[in-house]
Amino acid sequence: MERESMEYDVVIVGAGPAGLSTACKLKQLNEEITVCVVEKGSEVGAHILSGAVIEPRAMDELFPNWKELGAPLNVPVKGDEVYFLTSDTKASKVPHFGIPKPMHNDGNYIVSLGNVCRWLGEQAEGLGVEIYPGFAAAEVLFHEDGRVKGVATGDMGVSHSGEQKASYQPGFELHAKYTIFSEGCRGHLGKELIKKFNLDAGKDPQHYGIGIKELWDIDPAKHQEGLVVHGAGWPLAENGATGGFFLYHTENNQVVVGLITDLNYDNPYLSPFDEFQRMKHHPLFADTLEGGKRVSYGARAVIKGGLHSLPKMTFPGGLLIGCDAGTLNFSKIKGTHTAMKSGMLAAEAIAEGLAQENAPAELTGFTTKFESSWVYDELFRSRNFGAAMHKFGTFIGAAFNFIDQNIFNGKLPVNLHDTTPDYACIKPAANFSPINYPKPDGKLSFDKLGSVFLSNTNHEEDQPCHLKLADADIPIKVNLEKWAEPAQRYCPAGVYEVMDNEDGSKRFQINAQNCVHCKTCDIKDPSQNITWVVPEGTGGPNYPNM
């Protein structure tokens, strides 16, 4: 069946901070430019998950009057604390002067990034941008000469076996002079484009973490609106892993608590979800959370390779921006302001290209704009941050970063590289003993399925599985034997299980309905056998205030 098509000047894939900033800036520069945004979530913001403390620098540039316009940046940071957890009961507070400069949060705001994106979507629509939530971009379209032509949305109403149901609706094609990919971390189309155009040639492998977050209502007597707490150490350090935690006191007597586990860990028995549940029993968190109520849960991969892992962002017919490319500044643990700015720079390059009589196939001018911007300067100054933590561990890595950031202002004449992909860091299960995680108490710690329920995750059950195995035999024949099939543990949503058959053999079960679209499986599978693709539009989590 031939698909219907629509023509635009610019098509943007993903209604996150980068994509929406591109759309808004384009209309500010030239209201005649036709712009379409497609978003796989049921609404703008439904799939957005971040800590989040936002630096308003890019927002100030995009909408200088954002306060008057009602942007949901309501909680300025009033306190900033950093701790090293040295055991399950002890913590050491880092003196303010000892914190790396990029981690200071003066002038920043605690936000729900989902709500910020909802607001940006309203601004974009007010400027004349067409936004289509619930439509998942499933395929990149190409011209005969190899230029990107646009995208096709996924078909709806296809059964698990691939047959057309009574509700079948074919996807449609969106054609554009330029197509912008802003899908967020590990975007599946961005991943395809990086490979097709060899955009990562000469770059370090990209690196990631898995961020798990909960939103809590707490006792008003314990609430300190505007307090930001970060730190590292226990429990991850106990199992040789690195990462960091956060606890933010937001508005309405709520806090957000989370843990980012670096995905370069080597122990296949480690479970980031269970590490997070265990962490909340430390007095630093328990004293705040006890007596409260958990109201939401979510998980999302975090891109953190930085400048040395940043691919070329231009290709014929389009651009790769924001976390789809990897613009997050990991030394600040922030990517919203850099994603927004990358989108604004993309808009400038696009507007200039469209203004030419013969619009160039590739917007090479974007690279010049990017490399002369404050985003590039930030990424350059923080280029060693993640590699130092990976190479030297939490404590020595932190000391290196203090010297680099506070004494040399990010210009230490050293370039640290981390050339081992995260999936290749995992070691055979025979080198480790299984980790016996405590059972959840239902007060501070919880199980996976109850957590997924709080994420409002839902997928049409009778549809093709969106978690594709290149070889269906590998999970049992290779991964189980060598690594005790770590998918059972690295997935924070209970998607993957190893089940017993009646004859005593094992089978690999995929519970795709549970998937919260975090992309961890696509990143961490040691055989690189799992590929995440988009399910039917509107499928996945529906995060409120996350």
Q: Which residues are catalytic?
A: 50, 300, 336, 491, 515, 518, 521
Structure tokens belonging to residue 5: 């098509």
Q: Tell me which residue of 294, 248, 246 sits closest to 85, measured CA to CA.
A: 246
Structure tokens belonging to residue 44: 């703008």
Cβ–Cβ < 8 Å for 540, 502:
no
| 534-to-173, 230, 376, 464 alpha-carbon distances in Å | 16, 33, 31, 10
User: 295-306: b or e for each residue (b if 16 or more CB lie within 10 Å)?
Assistant: ebbbbbbbbbbb
State the Cα–Cα distance between residues 277 and 280, nearest whole angstrom. 6
Helices (H) and strands (E) in the chain, counts: 15, 24
State the Cα–Cα distance between residues 61 and 39, nearest whole angstrom. 24
| 476-to-452, 472, 529, 538 alpha-carbon distances in Å | 25, 8, 12, 32
State the Cα–Cα distance between residues 354 and 177, nearest whole angstrom. 8
Residue matched to tokens 């940043």: 310
Cβ–Cβ < 8 Å for 318, 12:
no
Omega cis (within 30) before 235? yes
DSSP 322-358: GGGTT--BTTTTB-HHHHHHHHHHHHHHHHHHHHSSS
